[in-house]
Amino acid sequence: MKTHEELIAKMLEDPAMRAEMERLENSEEFLLLDIELAARQSSGLTQAQVVVSVV
């Protein structure tokens, strides 16, 4: 069974897939997700704890 990294590397061999991944990585949505994840990790909260505190 291939690792996640191996699957991603294989996927990115396709130029269309690579272009789409680059487009997504540079999107505002991904930037916001990165900020959210960094804040959660630095606060020491789990995803479950964040969901409970939001609801």
Which tens digits make up the pLDDT trace of 1-55? 899 999 999 999 999 999 999 998 889 988 998 898 899 999 998 888 888 876 6
Query: What pLDDT score was predicted for residue 22?
Result: 92
Query: What pLDDT score was predicted for residue 7?
Result: 95
Query: What pLDDT score was predicted for residue 50?
Result: 81
Residue type, 55: V
Query: What pLDDT score was predicted for residue 48?
Result: 87
CA-to-CA dists, residue 50 to 19, 26, 37, angstroms: 32, 25, 10
Query: What pLDDT score was predicted for residue 55?
Result: 66
The predicted model scores a pTM of 0.53
∠9-14-18 over CA atoms, to 5°?
Answer: 75
